[in-house]
Structure formats: structure tokens, C-alpha cells
Amino acid sequence: MVEETKTADVGGIGPEQDLTAVRDVVAEVPPGVVAQTLGQYVRGYVARIRAGESGVLPVVVAMIAIVVVFSVLSPVYLSAGNLVNLFQQSAVIMVLAMAEAFALILGEIDLSVGFVGACGAAITVQLIQPATTNWAWPLAIVAGLFFCLVFGMIQGLLITQLRLPSFIVTLAGYLVANGVFLRILLFGPFSGYPNLLGQSNNLHLIYQLMWGNIDPTASWIGAAVVVAGLGAVIFLGDSRRRSSGLVAPPTSVTLIKIAAIAVIAIVVVGICNVNRANLGTLEGVPWVIPIVLAVLGAWTVLLQRTRYGRYVFAIGGNPEAARRAGINLSLIRTTGFMLCSFTAGIGMLLYASYLNGMSNNIQGGQYVLYAVAAAVIGGTSLMGGRGKAMHGVLGGLVIGAIYNGMYLLGLSFEWQYIVTGLVLLAAIIIDAVSRRGSASGSVTRV
């Protein structure tokens, strides 16, 4: 008899227990794990935030504050044209931050992402020049990203096989890549400034990555398909758990989640489908949005739903435990650095498209700092073991929103650096404080 009542506790908190019980479930238990009703879910979430485990909430609050401040100061800030522009500016930082996520979750850092990615993008831009090699764009992109993979592999092997600190190896990689990048630019007729101007289809397509728009009707259909697909996955997953007796969030919470995704999709497509041109037409969702979403989706699945991703987190959390579990640390770490460089290649290709070419005054070093800042602002820990691809997107949006706003206000670059630096500092403080807050609830967190 005694046993029976004991085992009933395993599945979570029974519905008869009230507020105090929910609050008892300290800090780090996600609300979806213990709540049976919407009310409990909300209370569990509040309790969690109070205990310092705030999730993405600080970013969202910061985002709202930034938007409110700048929209008051600048009337055009919330115009459709500027919002789309803001997203295009943020996209590069978002993708670079998702690249950095691999290194950060592993408990490492990659300082080379900016220039390694820039090398890949420069290779692509050079290879499609009609006056020289005139490669087809898919081949040129593959070649550029392949360079990034190899560069990441060399760095990964140096870090894992010679046991060098990633900080130093990637700092060296940053300098080497910077030099290689400048050499690559010198080839061809443009001597330092290969661009995407010209009549070639290949040039045009790379230009479209950032500046091309999807037809408004197609935008709605695409968004509907994405929302329906995501909604189905979430709903079916949750109801399967409910029906097989596992702990799952209540149906109302599941539906609210899906509704939130639908609302975001409608707002984004609605804004993008406004005609943004002063003369003529400029409307529809820019290509860059599905590109960023594709990277986000792929890396979210890889990190959250595959063995590989699980091992990345395990190594970031406790490498010794991972080793004893039979995980090949060197392999996972090296491929982590390869994926980091690979993703950086995608990000800087978008940047090349944004700039309509490549030039020798690209600030690859600055972009590394933005990438790390964006990931940390989004909620990825610098200490390893905690992070998501989504954090890079949210953090990138925050940095882009600040940048865009200050640009509209006509503030000079000095101020943009200072404010971005302060935002990074604030993010790290939140990271540190939330870790301390949750540490009080646990026994062995050093």
C-alpha cells in the first residue's frame, strides 16, 4: 500500500495539489513537465521566472523595450519597409550566431567565424564571375561552403588532437582566414572588390538571396504550409504523449503554442506583403526569411532531436560523463567546429548578397563579437551545455533592432559600438545571475 502511494509521485504533481505545490517544483523544471492545467502551467512558469530560470523572457522584454523606445524617437522605425530592412540586416548576425551555438554549447568558442565565412563567400562570389571562371551558382556555393568545412576541420583537429585551447586556435584561424580572404579578393578583374553587378544569372541569383522577394500570394501559401506542418508536429507529438500516459502540457497550452506561431507568421507575412517601395512595387516575403528559417529548423532538429545533438550537449555539460558513456569526444567536437564554420559560410554568403559583392573592408572580427553576443543575448550559455539555434535568431534580432534604430536616429558608429557592447554585457550578467539563482536550488553546481 505504502509503495503505491509513493510511486504515484513519479509522474509529476497530481491535479489536486495547488499553488504551493507548483511553486515547490523549483526553478529548473519546465512548466510543461508538471502542469496538468493551463492555470498550473502559468503558475509554474511564473515560479520558474522568480527562481531565476527565465528562458527567452528577458530577450522578448528587451525586444519590446527597444521597439517602444525607437518607435517613439523615429516615426519610420515601425514602417513595413524598415522592419523588413531590419530583418535583412539582422539575418547575417542570426546565422553567424547559430554557427557559434555549436562551439558555445560544446563549451568552446570560435573566434574565426567572421573571416572563415567571408572566405567561403568570397570564393563563391569569385567563382561565378562571368569574366573569369563563370561557375554555376550551386557549384560555387558548394565550393565556398566546402572551404569552410575544411577550415573548421583543421581547427577542430588542432583543438582535439593537440589539445589546444579553442580560444587560441580560432584566434589564429581568424588571422589566417583574414589574410586568405584578402588574397582571394585580389583574383580577377575587380582587384579587391568582386561584385554581383552584371547580367549573369548566377550573379543575379546570389544577389536575390538577400534582396529577392517571394510573390505575396506564394508568401501566404508558404506561411500556411509551414504553420500547418509545425502545428501538426507539435499537436500530434503532445497528444501522443498524453494518450500514452506520459507527462505532457495540457491541450490548451498546446493550442496556444500553435496559435502563437500562426500569429507570428501572419504578422510577418502581413508586414512583408505591404508595398515597401516609394515608386513601383516592392512586396512579398524576402528570400532571406525562409533561408534563415531553414537553417533554424535544420539545426534545431540536429541539436534537439538527434544523437549527435545530444552528445554535443553532454560534452558541454560534463565531458568526463560523456567519455564514460562511450561518446567519441574528438569526433563530436571536430564536427562541431566544422558545422560552425559551415554555417558561418552561409551567413557570410548572405552578407555578400547584402553588400552586393565582397570588399576588403568587411569587419569579420566585429561580426564574431556580434555572433557571440547574439547567441548569449538569446540565452545560450558561455559556460557550455546550454543553448538553442533559436537563441541566435532572437539575439540577432535584438542586435539588429538596436543597430537599425541608432542608424535611423543618425547616431554615429561610436555610439553603435558602445550600445551593442553594453547590451552584450547586460546579456552576460543575466546569464550569470540566472545561473546563480538556479544554483541555489541545486546541490552540486560549481
Q: Binding residues for other proteins, per CB under 8 A? A: 3, 6-7, 9-13, 24-30, 33-34, 240-241, 244, 246-247, 301, 305-307, 310, 313-314, 316-318, 320-322, 324-327, 385-386, 438-439, 441-445
**How many C-beta atoms lie closer than 10 Å to residue 163's C-beta?**
8
Q: Distance between CA atoms of 370 and 397, rounded to whole angstroms? A: 11
Q: Please, which residue, 360 or 442, has the CB nearer to other proteins? A: 442
Please give the single-letter amino acid code of residue 101.
A
Residue 162 beta carbon to other proteins: minimum distance, rounded to whole angstroms: 24
State phi, psi for 250 to the nearest 5 degrees: -60, 155
Residue 439 beta carbon to other proteins: minimum distance, rounded to whole angstroms: 8
Q: Please give the grid coordinates belonging to residue 325.
A: 558513456
Q: Distance between CA atoms of 269 and 264, rounded to whole angstroms? A: 9
Q: Distance between CA atoms of 43 and 47, rounded to whole angstroms? A: 6
Residue 229 beta carbon to other proteins: minimum distance, rounded to whole angstroms: 16
Residue 169 beta carbon to other proteins: minimum distance, rounded to whole angstroms: 24
Find, among 359, 361, 354, the residue nearest to 292 by Cα: 354
Q: Please, which residue, 183 or 445, has the CB nearer to other proteins? A: 445
Tell me the chain's radius of gyration from C-alpha atoms: 23
Q: Please, which residue, 174 or 311, has the CB nearer to other proteins? A: 311
Measured over the CA atoms of residue 53, residue 58, residue 60 and residue 61, the dihedral's sign is positive
Residue 401 beta carbon to other proteins: minimum distance, rounded to whole angstroms: 29
Residue 309 beta carbon to other proteins: minimum distance, rounded to whole angstroms: 8
Q: Please, which residue, 244 or 361, has the CB nearer to other proteins? A: 244
Q: Distance between CA atoms of 92 and 396, rounded to whole angstroms? A: 8
User: Are 148 and 345 spatial neighbours (Cβ–Cβ below 8 Å)?
Assistant: yes
Q: Please, which residue, 139 or 439, has the CB nearer to other proteins? A: 439
**How many C-beta atoms lie closer than 10 Å to residue 72's C-beta?**
9
Q: Please, which residue, 200 or 300, has the CB nearer to other proteins? A: 300
Here the contacts of 220-229 (C-beta below 8 Å, separation 24 or greater) are: 220/269, 220/273, 222/285, 222/290, 223/265, 223/266, 223/268, 223/269, 223/285, 224/265, 226/265, 226/293, 227/258, 227/261, 227/262, 227/265
Q: Please, which residue, 34 or 93, has the CB nearer to other proteins? A: 34
In degrees, to the nearest 5, what angle opens at C-alpha 82 toward C-alphas 80 and 83? Answer: 65
Find, among 130, 152, 150, the residue nearest to 140 by Cα: 130
Q: Please, which residue, 324 or 412, has the CB nearer to other proteins? A: 324
Q: Please, which residue, 25 or 177, has the CB nearer to other proteins? A: 25
Q: Please, which residue, 27 or 92, has the CB nearer to other proteins? A: 27
Residue 103 beta carbon to other proteins: minimum distance, rounded to whole angstroms: 16
The CA distances from residue 332 to 7, 18, 105, 161, in Å, are 38, 44, 12, 12
Estimate to the nearest angstrom the gap between the alpha carbon of 215 and the chain centroid: 26
Q: Please, which residue, 53 or 406, has the CB nearer to other proteins? A: 53
Q: Which residues of 87-120 are buried (b: 16+ CB within 10 A; e: fewer)?
A: bbbbbbbbbbbbbbbbbbbbbbbbbbbbbbbbbb
Residue 420 beta carbon to other proteins: minimum distance, rounded to whole angstroms: 28
Residue 446 beta carbon to other proteins: minimum distance, rounded to whole angstroms: 9
User: Are 213 and 357 spatial neighbours (Cβ–Cβ below 8 Å)?
Assistant: no
Residue 129: partners with Cβ closer than 8 Å, 6 or more residues away: 188, 189, 190, 194, 203
Q: Please, which residue, 34 or 86, has the CB nearer to other proteins? A: 34
Residue 330 beta carbon to other proteins: minimum distance, rounded to whole angstroms: 15
Residue 418 beta carbon to other proteins: minimum distance, rounded to whole angstroms: 33
